[in-house]
Amino acid sequence: MPAVTAGAPLFQAENAVEEAGRAVDGLIGFYERLLDYVTGPDFVASLAATVLAILLGILFYRLAVRILPRLLYWRRPAEGRPDPQTRARIKRQDTAVTLIRNLLKYATFIVVALVAVSAFLREALPVVAGTSVLAALVIFGAQSFLRDIVAGFSILFEDQYSVGDFISVQPMGAFGVVEEFGLRTTKLRTVSGEVVYIPNGVITGVTNYVQGRQRFTVEVQLRNPEAAGRVVRALEEADELYVTPPRLVRREEFAGGGVRLTIEASALPSMDWLPREKLTQRIRAAAGEEDLAAEPLVYTADRRTVERLKELTPPEE
């Protein structure tokens, strides 16, 4: 019994040493095969083909983004003050250029990736299997990406906005000029200079300020002509932040010395506080509380839209 008890641990130790040796041999063999594969002609050829594909992809992308915009801008109208139709055509051209750049970036990446996969996986079955796995990952793991792409197509086909338009985007409430439009994101430049990237899939509503500005009308009721003169002189202190500085468009005088001034000004849609707050404060300070017959009335209305609504409104019976 004691001899058997003493031989059992020795037998287990020998087995452990043999298993460790086999594991080390297997690891050494794996590294040897890996080294042979890496230094073999097939791997070197596949690596060279991949590097060449990447370089050709970069060269193609840079040439394409230089040539295609020039073709689209070939019949671009001359500089100046274009009419509304020409301005809309220019915006569509800018939108097409940014969209083409975006599409070229994605297309070049996909083609180069497929070439690299096919270079290392020469058999058709692994390539098809890898493509199937990639498609599954895209479907189940990149749903937000696909949602952004679908929303981008909807915005493009419905012509909701173009490059150069001043828009407001909901639900984030961002205001700015559209600098770039892609199938996945929209790039805005705010009035204060920040750049905002908005995924198209999260946009729930868009307000497009087609003219790029809002026209404000301010009506001021005054008790005497002297106060009206002070208000008119105050308007001459134009603020650089206005698109169109405040100007007097109508003056009406009534019996008893009362005066009504109609003032117009234009500002960016995100800066409506200029006429609603700053301008009215300046008018109050110039007129004086005792000579101000009523609080300044500020309202916005597009004349062409009002005329169109009048045409659509049925006459009263």
pLDDT (tens digit per residue) in 240-261: 778 888 888 889 988 888 889 9
Phi, psi dihedral angles at 203 (to 5 degrees) = -75, 120
User: Residue 198's pLDDT band (boundaries 50, 70, 90)?
Assistant: very high
User: Residue 1's pLDDT band (boundaries 50, 70, 90)?
Assistant: very low
Tokens of 38: 């890496």
The more confidently predicted of residues 85 and 180 is: 180
Where are the chain's structural domains? 41-141, 156-209, 214-309
Mention every residue, 6+ apart, whose C-beta is less than 8 A from residue 227.
Answer: 259, 286, 287, 288, 291, 292
Residue with tokens 């690891």: 27
**156-209 and 214-309: same fold?**
no
Does 195 have pLDDT greater than 60?
Answer: yes
d(CA 158, CA 180): 17
Query: Which residue intervals of the chain are DSSP H helices?
Result: 2-39, 41-72, 84-120, 124-141, 143-158, 225-235, 273, 280-287, 303-312
Q: Report the pLDDT averaged over residues 191-195.
A: 86
Task: Please return the burial class of 305, using the count of CB atoms within 10 Å of its CB with bins 0-12, 13-18 and 19+.
Answer: exposed
Domain 214-309 has CATH 3.30.70.1710: yes
Nearest to 106 by CA among 136, 146, 155: 146
Confidence (pLDDT) at 124? 44
Does 227 have pLDDT greater than 80?
Answer: yes
Q: How many CB atoms lie within 10 A of CB 218?
A: 20
pLDDT (tens digit per residue) in 110-141: 888 888 877 776 544 455 555 565 666 556 65
Phi, psi dihedral angles at 161 (to 5 degrees) = -160, 165
- Is the pTM higher than 0.75? The answer reads no
Confidence (pLDDT) at 75? 66
Fold of 156-209: SH3 type barrels. (2.30.30)
User: Residue 277's pLDDT band (boundaries 50, 70, 90)?
Assistant: confident
Edge-to-edge strand order for the sheet containing 174-181? 195-199, 185-189, 174-181, 166-170, 205-209
| Range 249-253 contact pairs with CB under 8 angstroms and sequence separation of 24 or more | 253/225
The more confidently predicted of residues 265 and 211 is: 265
